[in-house]
Amino acid sequence: MALEAAYLDYPRRAHGYDHGLYRWSQMHERPPLGWPGGAAVAVVVVISAEYFPLTPADQPFRAPGHMQTPFPDWRHFTARDYGARVGLGRLLGALEAVGARAGVAACGALVERCPGLVEDIAARGHEIVAHPFNMNDTIASTLDEAEERARIARALSALAAFGPRGWLSVARSQSWATPRLLAEAGVRYCLDWPNDELPYWQTTPAGPLLAVPLNHELSDRRVIVEGQQSGEEWAQQMRDAFAWLAREAAESGAARMLPLHVTPYVLGLPWRIAAFEALLGWLKAQPGVWFARPGEVADAFALQVAHP
């Protein structure tokens, strides 16, 4: 039986994807970017500084890394707390040893639960990126819009003293409304979408929002915890990625970006931190490297590419 002609009509069919957030394009079709000082590759370190409540909330979903066994789940809770108490300091120390600064995606709850921690991070020159207030504040399209707006506002309010311009959702998860709500709240850029290797503009009814892609496949949690690989194997994948991007930059004459997404309770352990230190030392020795905070990349991009 033949289909009716109207069956093939779809109002959102267009070049690219089924939304109007941005103009779809391949990377080689865009004007070439340049980084400050003529750097070929921006290395952007993003640290997830998370706060997991002891009792998880599963609405709209349970955050990855949350408590698993019958509550109170002290085994997982204290392992996460280790990240703030020990692992985070090791990661920051390794960065500072090579003169690098990171973007730290901090849960707002850390301001009250871990007094002085976020203040110390900012005082050391690292950028505070807004993470939800705690790891129960997940977002998906089943969440009421007013509740999502309240969750965004709560996180930004808790971190207001540090002037966060960027946002990283729990598990990179968004609702249909999230880009608009972030722009409405004054957020400048978002790290949620890993669909590119360079920044690009999004257009929302509340104004522009800059996407700064943060690769998910090469996060330490993905490779080491989920993939059961070693810290050294993760670091080698980062070296391989850098070498490829540096070659592309040289051949194309266009700058590239390598994000390093790391977790204090994963990479900050004493049997893994040496791999991170060695990687940073190796990267620093490579020609054309710019260790950049995500906000610096956003600013450098915006100076070259105006919102359409």
Q: Smallest Cα–Cα separation from 235: which of 256, 218, 214?
A: 218
DSSP codes of every residue in 62-73: PPTT---SSSS-
Residue 24: which pLDDT band, with cuts at 50, 70 and 90? confident
pLDDT at 46: 98
- pLDDT score, position 1: 61
Instruction: Give the integer Cα–Cα distance in Å for 190 and 258.
Output: 16
Q: What is the mean pLDDT of residues 200-212?
A: 98
pLDDT exceeds 80 at position 10: no
pLDDT of 18 reads 72
The Cα 86–Cα 50 span in angstroms is: 13
pLDDT digits (tens, 9 = 90+) for 85-96: 999 999 999 999
Output the CA torsion 49→262→198→122 (10° steps): 40
- Dump pLDDT digits (tens) for 281-290: 999 999 999 9
- CATH number for the region 33-55+69-304 comes to 3.20.20.370
Q: Which of 49-53, 68-72, 128-132 has the lowest mean pLDDT?
A: 68-72
* Residue 293, pLDDT above cutoff 70: yes
Mean pLDDT of the chain: 95
Q: What pTM did the predictor assign? A: 0.94
In this prediction, what percent of the chain has a pLDDT beyond 70? 97
Confidence band of 13 (pLDDT split at 50, 70, 90): low
